[in-house]
Amino acid sequence: MFEKILIRIVALVVTMVLGSLPLRAEDNVLSTIREATRQYEAGDYTGAASNLDYAAQLVRQQKSERMKALLPEPLSGWEGKEATAQALGAAILGGGVTVSRDYKKGAASLSVEIVSDSPVLQSVLMMVNNPMFAGAGGGKLETLNGQRAIIKYDSAKKTGELYVVVASRFVVTIKGRQVAREDLLAYGEAIDFLTLEKN
């Protein structure tokens, strides 16, 4: 009885998450959940679990596609490659959704990555929330569009990294080579953190 209620709760939560997704993707997910419910009621627990895992992966893929749109467009003078997305189940490195995009300007190169639903988030949260951790790694705390951030920059090598935690659910990482410190901050400021919080 408890398992049946749990399946119905999972189906309801997924339905709410999919409210703004394209109809075709929504139909695929909901039909998979309906099939899982049918399998469970028929006593096919293995099939039901497999279909629920599959539906969850479809949701993660849809989320990653939405997150790709939040990666910034190339700033003036920069060129950007096509954004990529990856959605991993919990069995692989703890799971999570990752989107990234690479940018280039002459000899300078920079990448922006957004990760959500990942165990990595906890270690970054620890650094951002505790100034001692940030300083120990050579980083400095910054506030970027109202968000806490850590920046590490080597002026001699012109390399650096910027980490931003958004809504305690997303980690934005910006890494650059042959870049100015201002380039890292500019790409950080180009991300719509308010929209990201709603994903």
pLDDT at site 12: 46
User: Which residues have C-beta within 8 Å of that of residue 185, sequence separation ≥ 6?
Assistant: 142, 144, 151, 162
Question: What pLDDT does residue 15 have?
Answer: 47
> pLDDT in tens for each of the 199 residues of the chain?
545 544 454 444 444 444 444 444 457 878 888 888 888 888 888 888 887 877 777 777 777 778 888 999 999 999 999 999 876 654 444 457 889 999 999 999 999 999 887 666 667 667 666 666 666 667 888 889 888 888 999 999 999 999 998 888 888 999 999 999 999 999 999 999 988 888 7
Query: Would you state the structure tokens that stand for residue 15, as one six-digit string?
Result: 């339905």
Tell me the pTM. Answer: 0.70
* Residue 173 confidence (pLDDT): 93
| CA gap 132, 48 in Å, rounded | 47
Q: In whole angstroms, what is the distance from residue 153 CA to residue 64 CA?
A: 29
Neighbours of 57 (CB within 10 A): 17
pLDDT tens for 37-69 read 888 888 888 888 887 877 777 777 777 778 888
CA dist 191 → 23, 67, 74, 122, 165 (Å): 27, 11, 11, 21, 12
pLDDT for residue 17: 45
Task: Give the pLDDT of residue 92.
Answer: 41
Would you tell me which CATH number, out of the four given (1.10.10, 3.40.50, 3.30.70, 3.40.1000), belongs to the domain 72-197? 3.40.1000
Beta bridge partners of 109: 104, 177
Q: Domain limits of the chain?
A: 2-67, 72-197
